[in-house]
Structure 1
């Protein structure tokens, strides 16, 4: 029997292949291209060019979903029963929680390391985060919050062609919210702020895992942070975007970012934007103190 869970399973394989060693009543959801971004912003949701990054996956079962928003009471109950911080704890068991993304108008590489994610004891909808960012050779600690503003259950729309598809027993959700991550007040430091979207599932046993769906707003990225970094000193803001499976988004940010036919191969044209060290095994997050240059 063909299983609908093939996509999430494949995501795990692809994410492992794409990561450097040591890294660890409903509204139908449709993939809608974003308007072209100005030169000083990143696209909030990648446009149709992002489809090229997952062309081969389009041939696999990829059902449509209905988004069924949870009421405030339902959201509060789910967040009280399930600690969403465990989503990141599961990733940390597999390796360091380091995520890649794009920063500034030139889309330079930025890395975000989540050292800890814990639930606020007084607010189940808020997660407390500590970690470090690395931009070029600058490593800066940060701390802050992730706040979940809305939750929606995702119900598969099963068509005639899906008659033999096993839907499984996990319940999938789309979470949307906002984040604020404040760097230490050092020279050149600032604050990350913006919106968060993530797909996750809850098993019958209550286990939480990130999910990877093509036809939800995260577009196979698992989770997506999109917003800006603002300098404490000057107030200047620069766009920032990072994700778990960022390769699913990269083609919508930088044209022909991945030029590999089967394996990941970053376009040499972008090596000067920090991608020449993507396969490095350097554990920069273990630096004992901030390094600013």
Structure 2
């Protein structure tokens, strides 16, 4: 019986080792503190977000991201959020918790000096408590990147073949400063959710298509601007106006 247990244990170790070699996953946590991940945090500025179980449209923009001088894994963040017509100022931190890279197998389009990577980070943002209706945002940001000759590069700028870990997404919650009640808070830019949601689907063209059931929760202008056919809108002036509104720098 003892010999059998030893055999099974050794077999499991062998399988685990073989799997690791096949996937060629490397821990990048110790190395990422030597890099500057500012541009990977700023990708959130092009995200689509929502707040609450009714998928109310949520905007976020980082106006300043600086690597901490005291903690090489931490970034100091300033910015603004927007829900409906309400704009809130916030400050906070992003702290990297994990980082890995993998070698992409069997893809001749990917040079040998390219690896796919992903880091996760905790986010803690505090909206101005003096502003009515403000709150706190906490959760986890996941961001894909490419490692090229030991240097991180944004996967939106440098893309080869079918890279894993692409995109940027945040999953967490917003908690009211006044009541202490929380709502789901998520934003997304490329890649996919790890948490099921009913707001949108990614089309074959890689674009985001909104579920029209939630149109009145802040999504009508977005759909008019980028997927007007969903609404049967063919007025070019109306579409251009909607696109201009989508590109407004509301945080200034």
The yes-or-no answer on 1:254 pairing with 2:204 is no
Given candidates 135, 147, 151, the residue that maps to 1:190 is: 135
Aligned twin of 1:285: 250
Output the TM-score relative to the length of structure 2: 0.70
Aligned twin of 2:185: 240
Instruction: Tell me: CA distance 1:214–1:171, structure 2 relative to 1, closer, same or farther (3 Å).
Output: closer
Aligned twin of 1:166: 109
> Following superposition of structure 1 onto structure 2, how do residues 125-140 of structure 1 map, counting pairs within 5 Å?
125-140=73-88
Is this contact kept in 2: 1:87–1:210, CA < 8 A?
no
Quote the offset at 1:151 in angstroms: 1.0
Structure number having the greater strand percentage: 2
Output the TM-score relative to the length of structure 1: 0.61
Quote the offset at 1:125 in angstroms: 0.6
Mapped to 2, the partners of 1:173 and 1:28 lie a distance apart of 18
Instruction: Tell me: CA distance 1:227–1:67, structure 2 relative to 1, closer, same or farther (3 Å).
Output: farther
How many matched pairs? 209
Quote the offset at 1:166 in angstroms: 3.1
Quote the offset at 1:209 in angstroms: 0.8
Quote the offset at 1:204 in angstroms: 2.8
Instruction: Tell me: CA distance 1:277–1:75, structure 2 relative to 1, closer, same or farther (3 Å).
Output: same
Mapped to 2, the partners of 1:112 and 1:135 lie a distance apart of 9
Aligned twin of 2:29: 75
Mapped to 2, the partners of 1:133 and 1:254 lie a distance apart of 22
Higher RCO, 1 vs 2 (CA within 8 Å, ≥6 residues apart): 1
Mapped to 2, the partners of 1:156 and 1:26 lie a distance apart of 18
Aligned twin of 2:37: 84
The two structures, once aligned, show a CA RMSD in angstroms of 3.4
